[in-house]
């Protein structure tokens, strides 16, 4: 589904990703862990097409097509979704409206009919239950005045509604209380399917107790320096990153 080869990316002439490789197949869940500033959010942003990043070399292939030069909205309509580490507040833009516009943009792109108001609201109600979201949040401006946890929950709610093929969660677990963490996890698990893939960026093993990953990768200084199964997360939790770095340097 997603194939990243030797990706080098810089911001303002500073190279952040330094030859990154990642293969994600449909049906898989990948966790990416790594020290602060190692390039995890940069990777997520580059996949969804945020501008300001320069791709120096390498490629990002999604469903057989190179994403380079594709507008972010087209990527979204093709099924890529990023739950942001820091969701932005957008005063004056109604949450429901955004969802409806997003939903219909995707449907139109696929040649499907737009949902009518009732179908849409039914769907919204159904998905709200998944993340246990408060109805007032729905009718407020996007993220405006939401608490940290509410913002994260709203991201997962959007994800549940839009049903992406490739979902990327950038530290969705940070700032969540235990109950919210379980809700987020059940939202993500609800999305898990043969034809979908999920990438979870996290600092904590805790989330991975609820969402069991197929692979765990360590991203350090712009490269994936180690990959393993779910037990790697436990090991990292216990021992930190230094040993992985040393191992990588030695190799």
Partner 1 sequence: MSSPQDNILAENFHAAFSAHQDANAVGDLKSLSWLSAHRQSAFDQFQKEGFPTRHHENWKYTDVSRITKTGFITANPTHNAIQTDELDKLKFNTENCHELVFINGQFSAEHSDIGSLDDQVVIGSLRDALKNTPELIEKRFNQFAKKNHSRENHVFAALNTAFFHDGAFIYVPDNVVIEEPIVIYYISSHNEVMLTTAPRNLIIMGKNAQASVIESFHGLKGVVSFTNTITEIETEDGAVLEHYKVQQENTDSFHIGGTHLKLHRNSRVESHSISLGGAIVRNDIVTDLAGEGAEIILNGLYMGNGRQHVDNHTLVNHSKPHTRSDEYYRGVLDGRARGVFNGKVIVHKDAQKTDASQSNANLLLSDHAEIDTKPELEIYADDVKCSHGATVGQLDKNMLFYLRSRGLDADTAKSLLTFAFADEVIRRIKFAPIREQLEFNVGGRLPGSDLIKANLSSARQN
Ligand X SMILES: Nc1ncnc2c1ncn2[C@@H]1O[C@H](COP(=O)(O)OP(=O)(O)OP(=O)(O)O)[C@@H](O)[C@H]1O
Least gap, CB of 101 to Mg ion (angstroms): 27
Residue 205 binds: one of Mg ion, partner 1, ligand X, none (C-beta under 5 to 8 A by kind)? none
The verdict on 139 binding partner 1 (CB under 8 A) reads: yes
Would you say 31 and 202 are in contact if contact means Cβ atoms under 8 Å apart? yes
CB-wise, 87 or 160, nearer to ligand X?
Answer: 87
The verdict on 45 binding Mg ion (CB under 5 A) reads: no
Measured at the CA of 225, the angle between CA 188 and CA 2, to 5 degrees, comes to 45
Least gap, CB of 7 to ligand X (angstroms): 13
CB-wise, 42 or 95, nearer to ligand X?
Answer: 42
The verdict on 42 binding Mg ion (CB under 5 A) reads: no
Residue 109 binds: one of Mg ion, partner 1, ligand X, none (C-beta under 5 to 8 A by kind)? partner 1
Residue from 229, 227, 233, 231 nearest 247 by CA: 227
> Whole-angstrom Cα distance, residue 229 to residue 244?
15
> Whole-angstrom Cα distance, residue 154 to residue 35?
26
Residue with tokens 């093709």: 78
Pick one of 1, 2, 41, 224: the residue that binds Mg ion (CB under 5 A): 41
> Whole-angstrom Cα distance, residue 19 to residue 221?
10
Measured at the CA of 239, the angle between CA 235 and CA 245, to 5 degrees, comes to 95
Residues that bind ligand X (CB under 6 A): 11-12, 14, 16, 34, 36-42, 85
The verdict on 134 binding partner 1 (CB under 8 A) reads: no
Would you say 192 and 29 are in contact if contact means Cβ atoms under 8 Å apart? yes
Contacting partner 1 within 83-112 (CB under 8 A): 84, 87-88, 90-94, 96-98, 100-102, 105-106, 109
| The two structure tokens encoding residue 107 | 């449907």
Residue from 193, 179, 201 nearest 48 by CA: 201
Contacting Mg ion within 76-95 (CB under 5 A): 85
Q: Which residues contact Mg ion by CB under 5 A?
A: 40-41, 85
Q: Which residues contact partner 1 by CB under 8 A?
A: 48-51, 71-73, 76-77, 81-82, 84, 87-88, 90-94, 96-98, 100-102, 105-106, 109, 117, 139, 141-142, 158, 162
């Amino acid at each position: 589904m997603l194939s990243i080869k030797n990706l080098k990316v810089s911001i303002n002439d500073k190279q952040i990703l330094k030859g990154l490789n990642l293969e994600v197949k449909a049906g898989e869940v990948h966790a990416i862990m790594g020290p602060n500033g190692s390039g995890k959010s940069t990777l997520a942003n580059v996949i969804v097409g945020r501008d300001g990043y320069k791709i120096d070399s390498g490629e990002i292939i999604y469903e057989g097509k190179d994403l380079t030069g594709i507008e972010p909205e087209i990527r979204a309509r093709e099924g890529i979704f990023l739950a942001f580490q820091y969701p932005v507040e957008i005063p004056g833009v109604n949450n429901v409206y955004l969802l409806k516009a997003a939903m219909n943009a995707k449907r139109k792109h696929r040649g499907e009919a737009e949902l009518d108001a009732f179908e849409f609201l039914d769907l919204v109600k159904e998905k709200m239950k998944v993340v246990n979201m408060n109805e007032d949040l729905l009718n407020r401006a996007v993220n405006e005045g939401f608490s940290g946890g509410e913002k994260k929950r709203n991201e997962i709610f959007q994800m549940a509604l839009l049903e992406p093929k490739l979902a990327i969660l950038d530290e969705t677990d940070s700032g969540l209380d235990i109950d919210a963490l379980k809700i987020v996890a059940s939202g993500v698990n609800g999305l898990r399917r043969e034809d979908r893939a999920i990438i979870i960026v996290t600092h904590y093993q805790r989330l991975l107790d609820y969402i069991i990953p197929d692979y765990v990768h360590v991203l350090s200084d712009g490269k994936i320096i180690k990959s393993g199964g779910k037990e790697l997360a436990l090991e990292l939790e216990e021992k930190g990153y230094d040993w992985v770095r040393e191992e990588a340097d030695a190799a």
